[in-house]
Chain A
């Protein structure tokens, strides 16, 4: 402990909405070393964006509160820093690719100049060099240099997203929080962008948190994976742990749709029910209302179980070596079509 680049401990975040408490993050802990990539996967509303905003300290002033937990970057507590100190951290140490590219772009400034601004802020080079660099960044994300002088509204959705990525990469951060960086991109451009991010990691030893709902992207990019449900990590492990031995019933529901794992099965498993209401979360395990293995005991205290040094999950049930659960039901059991 203590030598990890990023450490998050027992993080809890609550929003207030129409006088109700939205429990968005409920006790999340993880750590991440330099040069490593953590994938965070989970349903919409699971709290993924909220976690990364907490790390950046950019949760809205009004209506959002970190009620518990600690965040350490390079051994320094992020939550104890002043707003001025955070200005230095953001961009230089941590940078974020926002899920919503439009909030990150200035509509009145050409895209090239926006990248230029980031470069000039963080590098000591003359203007001409910086302009060239900004053009290089554009080309790196697959946008021709001649489009330097265009404005965000003249760009397509995916192109805006790529500009935001170029800006985040331009300042060579030590930790990159990428919130759904490739959702608006087609697979060919996505492959290009993921390649870029990988290069960056190798060159500068950048730590990366990749938030995504695309398991293919996780498989191609991440070292470790956290599966998050209703603001809690329900399963955590290396990519191999998760893809080869998914254990938590929710993970199984999520991963049950992987074609490689369901050889011969025509119809794949889908998770029944709706995402939970974060203003009114169930007692005990948050997943029990949708879980095929639910028992009364699930409404009580839920232990964290370690399957190996790297792999843990949060569930009452033990997994048998053959992949079945105590109660003999097959995980992700479903009728074949």
Chain B
């Protein structure tokens, strides 16, 4: 064979929703690859398409365009028995631990459901044992196993969601904000758990979050999304050292500081609110006039790239996959961000990422 086949390959995936006022470009031409045992973090503004992308990869939603390849096999349009196999190999932990659990199922049954559906187990006893093992692993107390979801607090509900996703030992797990609802110490336990499991089983994670401290800790690569597009992808270390895209910068500057004696200096996002419906051509940030680097509307169109652009890609931002190609944004001085603050932020991430985990 010779040629290396990545575990998961996402190619130019698009998802447009029809809404009353037009087409919502929820995911607009996103591509990335993911290797076994690796984690890609997906960060970005609320509503930028992170969950939609995750759902497409899990085949809970059909893509409008583009391909998703698992082990080189196109799963974008898989149906029937094949789709069922895919659901075993790609699992999801949902963002919302409240509505994603069946309120009428006891915790134990919820975790057991995927085991049952998989027909991997010959006896009910073996299945029960497996379910108990998993619940033990994610720290669901014995006393809670016969409870219903509404009787649990947010943190424990999320553990149930994780247990259900882990049950079949999948190749890829889409973790959609699995720890946002949890306090720091439980967050740490869950993240450690996910990483331990990754080491043991070699599963790959697509980790959606808005917590940059968490993403720094868990992800090998980070993809920053903005209005349905991947505006920046880079190895975690690189991104944290030097953010290029203006949105990434604004994102990094908005983390609430825990220093009560020093007021925050936030890069305010000015201009119109982001609207993914019927977007205009040009940089997705252009009509937000907030981009500190957009000298004129002309610069709103992506700069001439060395490779010819397909029509579909004309709305991308200047700077995406390849951090070495020049972009008009990078050319502008970085002095827009105060140096000291950046250093402080960097330190903040470092400590944050080391916190408790």
Q: Which residues of A contact B (CB under 8 A)?
A: 15, 17-18, 20, 42-45, 49, 99-103, 139, 142-144, 146-147, 149-150, 154-159, 161-162, 180, 183-191, 194, 213-217, 219-220, 239-240, 243-244, 253-254, 257-260, 262, 265-271, 274-275, 277, 279, 337
Q: Which of B79-87, B114-122, B145-153 contacts A (4 or more CB under 8 A)?
A: B145-153
CB of B259 within 8 A of CB of A260, answer yes
CB of A180 within 8 A of CB of B153, answer no
Q: In the assembly, what is the distance between CA of A144 and CA of B275, in Å?
A: 6
Q: In the assembly, what is the distance between CA of A259 and CA of B353, in Å?
A: 10
Q: In the assembly, what is the distance between CA of A243 and CA of B262, in Å?
A: 13
A-B contact pairs, 10 of them (CB 8 A): A18-B143, A43-B155, A154-B24, A158-B46, A186-B46, A190-B254, A220-B264, A240-B260, A265-B351, A270-B357
User: Can you name the residue of chain A whose Cβ is closest to the Cβ of B277?
Assistant: A146
User: Can you name the residue of chain B whose Cβ is closest to the Cβ of A44?
Assistant: B155
Q: Does B156 contact A (CB under 8 A)?
A: yes
Q: Which of B7-15, B183-191, B307-315 contacts A (4 or more CB under 8 A)?
A: B183-191
CB of A186 within 8 A of CB of B183, answer no
CB of A100 within 8 A of CB of B96, answer yes
Interface size of B by CB at 8 A reads 63
Q: Does B296 contact A (CB under 8 A)?
A: no
Specify which of B180, B212, B257, B264 is in contact with A184 (CB 8 Å cutoff): B180
A149-B21, A266-B354 provided; 8 other pairs, C-beta below 8 A? A103-B98, A143-B273, A157-B51, A186-B210, A187-B212, A257-B355, A259-B347, A267-B354
CB of B43 within 8 A of CB of A186, answer yes
CB of B356 within 8 A of CB of A269, answer yes
CB of B354 within 8 A of CB of A147, answer no
CB of B354 within 8 A of CB of A268, answer yes
Closest 10 CB pairs of A and B: A44-B155, A158-B46, A216-B256, A270-B356, A186-B210, A213-B183, A259-B351, A100-B98, A187-B254, A257-B355
User: Can you name the residue of chain A whose Cβ is closest to the Cβ of B349?
Assistant: A259
Q: In the assembly, what is the distance between CA of A147 and CA of B275, in Å?
A: 9
Contacts of B46 in A (CB 8 A): 142, 156-159, 161-162, 184-186, 189
CB of A220 within 8 A of CB of B181, answer no
Q: Which residues of B contact A (CB under 8 A)?
A: 17, 19-21, 24, 43-47, 50-52, 95-96, 98-99, 139, 141, 143, 146-147, 151, 153-156, 177, 180-186, 188, 210, 212, 250-251, 254-260, 264, 266, 269, 272-275, 277, 347-348, 351-352, 354-357
Q: In the assembly, what is the distance between CA of A157 and CA of B181, in Å?
A: 12
Contacts of B147 in A (CB 8 A): 17-18
Specify which of B51, B181, B212 is in contact with A180 (CB 8 Å cutoff): B181
Quote the shortest CB–CB distance from B214 to chain A (angstroms): 12
Contacts of B99 in A (CB 8 A): 100, 102
CB of A214 within 8 A of CB of B143, answer no
